[in-house]
Amino acid sequence: MYQIRKARLEDVEAIAEVHVNSWKATYKDLINEQDMSNITIEHRIVLWETILKLPNHKQPVIVVEEDNEIVGFASGGKERTERFGFDGEIFAIYLLPTHQGKGLGKLLLKAFAEEMKQLDYQSLLVWVLTNNPTNQFYPIWCRKN
């Protein structure tokens, strides 16, 4: 059974683990080994602890759980470049590789978009590496210019 909810401070370690494990699985053929080794759970714990201590309107984080275990998350906030006409941005969306391709990403993205709408965002931008092997998830949201 899956549950989607807002992240809590006690979720920090689980979010960091999903972030690192999913990131490394997704980008293993795109990023050099030295840069890969710099992405650690310890560093991500500090990052997510900092983010989750912010007021929710600064950078909301939504998680998806299976059997009370976090298997994915999405986060975002104000679009950072202010150059493309979008007011919101998806900063990260990751699912453990074992949970990809099951429709959870769509559910997670929908819940995240609803949260952003409640925070008065009208549009969302997401940046995706051209050779990202999970690009098939994004066609509805992305287009190359």
User: Within a domain: residue 145?
Assistant: no
User: Within a domain: residue 115?
Assistant: yes
pLDDT tens for the chain, 145 residues long, are 899 999 999 999 999 999 999 988 877 777 777 777 788 999 999 999 999 998 877 789 999 999 999 999 999 999 999 898 999 999 999 999 999 889 899 899 999 999 999 999 999 888 876 666 566 665 554 444 4
Question: What is the identity of the amino acid at 25?
Answer: A
What distances in angstroms separate CA 83 from CA 49, 76, 90, 99, 101, one per listed residue?
29, 17, 15, 34, 32
The residue count for the chain: 145
In which domain, by residue range, is 87 found?
A: 2-137
What distances in angstroms separate CA 77 from CA 68, 119, 130, one per listed residue?
26, 9, 22
User: Within a domain: residue 144?
Assistant: no
Please tell me what DSSP assigns to residue 80.
Answer: S
| Confidence at residue 133, expressed as pLDDT on a 0 to 100 scale | 59
| Confidence at residue 51, expressed as pLDDT on a 0 to 100 scale | 94
User: Within a domain: residue 21?
Assistant: yes
User: Within a domain: residue 142?
Assistant: no
| Confidence at residue 6, expressed as pLDDT on a 0 to 100 scale | 96
- 24-53: buried (b, 16+ CB within 10 Å) or exposed (e) per residue? eebbeeeeeeeeeeeeeeeebbeebeebbe
| Confidence at residue 135, expressed as pLDDT on a 0 to 100 scale | 61
User: Within a domain: residue 52?
Assistant: yes
Residue 96: which CATH number?
3.40.630.30
CA distance 88 to 48: 19
CA distance 1 to 138: 25
Q: What is the distance of C-alpha 7 from the center of its chain? A: 12
User: Within a domain: residue 143?
Assistant: no
User: Within a domain: residue 126?
Assistant: yes
- Count up the domains in the chain and report the number: 1
Q: Which two tokens stand for residue 25?
A: 């699985």
